[in-house]
Amino acid sequence: MAEIICGKTVSAAKRLDIKNRVEELKNKGITTGLAVIIVGNNSASRVYVNNKKKACEEVGIESFEFALPEETTQEELLNLIDKLNNDSKVDGILCQLPLPSHIDEQAVINSIDPKKDVDAFHPENVGHIMIGDYTFLPCTPAGIMEMLKFYNIDVKGKKCVVIGRSNIVGKPMAMLLLKENGTVEICHSRTENLKEETLTADILVAAVGKAYFVTEDMVKDGAVVIDVGMNRNDEGKLCGDVDFDNVKEKASFITPVPGGVGPMTITMLLENTVRAASQK
């Protein structure tokens, strides 16, 4: 039976540390501010933005919200970002994705000052991650590394298999595991004999976005299983990419959904914002 990796526990400890650092900066006359932009009426995005606002309040970070209508033009959005790039009260800028279809997401990401890019999506920050010399890390992979560290799970020398190759999770996740001296393999929808690959993993990270995709017969005895998925099952309940109930009988450690990786993502956004403020 696997030990549960509790994201809420790790997140609470990390947020306490962040809160103390925000207070230390405040004592030096440095405020910490995060600007969040949301365009349109995507209900999931609104939930995320509200959660980010609450998290900022919890640790003492000032939150600036810019809720723009669906019909906002790309030029108007880029003009707002330019203004925030030059605003000394704003340390971090986050533009909630997805954006309406008439706006070029990459153009928006590229317009954010890399020093304020707390999502770590700007090509300059992606390049820093590739060479292992970074200020900011993408929030979900960074949160996973914090969880492994908290539970004393050593990556060094381990075979790490990441299922998924997105720019947000899969690719940076592989780079962070590699930096900690893991032997890393990235699998994806075109990988042949996927089960053969996952059965070699000491640490298996599932980030495919398909409910219950990873089954018990795909997991090596004693593996550490990290579930990044956030899906709805046939009953409408939240579930991950991993068949949790069966896989937990085989793994040594496993993250649940909800309550696993999820709480860490916003916490690492706060971490990036404090890092940005401390660069002032």
Catalytic residue numbers? 52, 96, 119
Phi, psi of 232 (to 5 degrees): -115, 135
Which spans in the chain are helix H?
Answer: 7-27, 43-59, 74-85, 105-111, 123-131, 139-150, 170-179, 194-198, 244-247, 262-278
Here the tokens at position 274 are 């404090």
CA 174 to each of CA 141, 264, 267: distance values in angstroms, whole numbers, following the listed order: 9, 18, 20
The 203-206 sheet, strands edge to edge: 3-4, 253-254, 224-227, 203-206, 159-163, 183-187
Residue closest to 37 by CA, chosen among 79, 68, 78, 69? 68
Whole-angstrom distance, CA of residue 249 vs CA of residue 258: 18
- How far apart CA 210 and CA 241 sit, in angstroms, is 5
How would you classify the pairing of strands 231-232 and 92-95?
unpaired
> What is the rounded CA–CA span in Å between residue 47 and residue 54?
11
Query: How many angstroms separate the CA atoms of 34 and 275, rounded?
Result: 12
Do residues 208 and 229 make contact, with C-beta atoms less than 8 angstroms apart?
yes
Q: Is 50 helix (H, G, I), strand (E, B) or coil?
A: helix
